[in-house]
A = this chain, B = another copy of it.
Amino acid sequence: MSERQVVPTPGQVLLHGLVEPAETKLVLVVMDGLGGLPMEPGGPTELEAAATPNLDRLAAEGTVGMSIPVAPGITPGSGVGHLALFGYDPVANPVGRGILDALGIGMEVAPGEVVARGNFCTLAADGTVADRRAGRIPTDECRRLVEKLRAAVHVDGVELAFEPVRDYRMVVRFRGEGLGDRLNDTDPLEVGLKPVHPQGEDEPSRRTARYTAELLQQVRTVLADEHPANYLLLRGFSALPHFPPFGEAYGVRAAALALYPTYRGLARLVGMTVLDAGSTLEEEMAALARHWGEHDFFFVHHKPTDSAGEDGDFARKAAAIEALDAALPAILALRPDVLAVTGDHSTPARMKAHSFHPVPLLLWAPATVRPDEVTSFGERPCMRGGLGQLAAKELMPVLLAHAHRLKKYGA
């Protein structure tokens, strides 16, 4: 595997040598895509429209603000948004698309393995790409073709794993000795051009490129009779990034509770223990209670806010927020020392997509929090909260500080 330089955030640099043990417990609740917009001028946002008695009480007792996931104006993907909340600078430490797609479908990736995203495509008789997405074949067709590849494609020296993603998209994982991920996409990006031959930038990546060339040659034979999907374009070759493990960086035993594989994958990527969260929010809360004694830091992920936002369903997003609000007493009953509630990015129902807007942030820590004048949790109240506008990657030091887990810096 080719080496990557890990760039810690300023917060992580500062924390080095400051982290100290404590008996405290921290919970970070991430409501995916929490931030919203009014549907009409003067109207409330999703969060402001939702009835959230528990969040409002925590906002009154605690302090609020706005989290900036990456930088002003930048709309983050989910991976980027979560890594920032975990304190990893998402710009200095990019994570490959192949890795994120693999995490998204729950595929295990170990250090040293390389993953690439694949598009089933249509090759013309002259070997040029006629359709980069093979007429956007349905997912069932994608599954059938992946099965065919699994059965027929075998490259000496490397173990291949093929998984369907959705429509014409799939991923392939390379498991073997001395693999690198610095190689070009084979997708020519335009129709009428031939696929690009894979070439590595260093010796380990040249090894991956040779396996890839052999793999693609076999794919061409295996899919020769298929239509429209008779070939594969590969891109986003990536190995696991070398993150400083979360538990080591922050001196906590960290665990993740998430119902969706992407978020379990992201937690695993930074070295959290991924717990079995069941399949409902109630089961997720029960799992939290069950494992409360074993860990100090819990990342609790809540997906329905983002899904509803993506669907443009304002009411369903507000209901998803209310569902999380109703689950809060179960968390508070465990007596956490520090509880933070925020999102990885905004997904306003009005925009039906991730957006660049800052994300409401709530911090509750009865022993140490300096309360502000805000008494409810919503975009407008958070704009005048005591935390101001905080870069997401700077949140972890604040949480650790409130948990009495950071020594004084300097004399």
Interface residue ranges, A against B (CB under 8 Å): 10-11, 13-14, 18, 35, 37-38, 41-42, 45, 61, 66, 70-80, 90-91, 94-95, 97, 100-101, 351, 353-357, 366, 368, 370-373, 379-380, 383-386, 388-390, 394-402, 406-411
Contact A408 B77 (CB under 8 A): yes
Q: How far is the CB of A11 from chain B (nearest CB, A)?
A: 6
Q: Pick 5 A–B contacts, CB within 8 A, sort by A.
A: A14-B71, A37-B370, A101-B411, A351-B368, A379-B386
CB distance from A140 to the nearest CB of B (A): 24
Looking at the assembled complex, report how far the CB atom of A82 sits from the nearest CB atom of chain B, in whole angstroms: 10
Q: Which of B37, B76, B410 contacts A95 (CB 8 A)?
A: B410
B370 touches A357 (CB 8 A): yes
Q: Determine if B390 and A383 form an interchain contact, defined as CB atoms under 8 angstroms apart.
A: no
- When distances are taken between beta carbons in the complex, the residues of chain B under 8 Å from A90 are 409-410
Q: Are B73 and A401 in contact (CB under 8 A)?
A: yes
Residue of B nearest to A382 (CB): B386
Chain B residues with CB under 8 A of A388: 66, 383, 388-389
A212 to B387, CA, bound (A): 48
User: A401 to B75, Cβ gap below 8 A?
Assistant: yes
**B residues within 8 A CB of A42?**
371
A71's contact among B368, B379, B397, B410, by CB below 8 Å, is which?
Answer: B397
Q: Please, which residue of chain B has its CB at the minimum distance from the CB of A408?
A: B75
Closest to A400 in B: B73
> Once the chains bind, are B72 and A398 in contact (CB under 8 Å)?
yes
User: Do the beta carbons of B91 and A13 come within 8 Å of each other?
Assistant: yes
**Which B residues touch A400, using CB under 8 A?**
73
Q: Looking across the interface, which residue of chain B has its beta carbon closest to that of A43?
A: B371
State whether A70 touches B357 (Cβ < 8 A): no
Q: Contacts A370-B37, A408-B77: A72 and B355 contacting too (C-beta < 8 A)?
A: no
Given contacts A80-B409, A388-B66, A409-B77, contact A72 B380 (CB under 8 A): no
Are B389 and A380 closer than 8 Å at their CB atoms? Answer: no
Contact B380 A368 (CB under 8 A): no
- Contact assessment for B356 and A401 in the assembled complex, using a CB-CB cutoff below 8 Å: yes
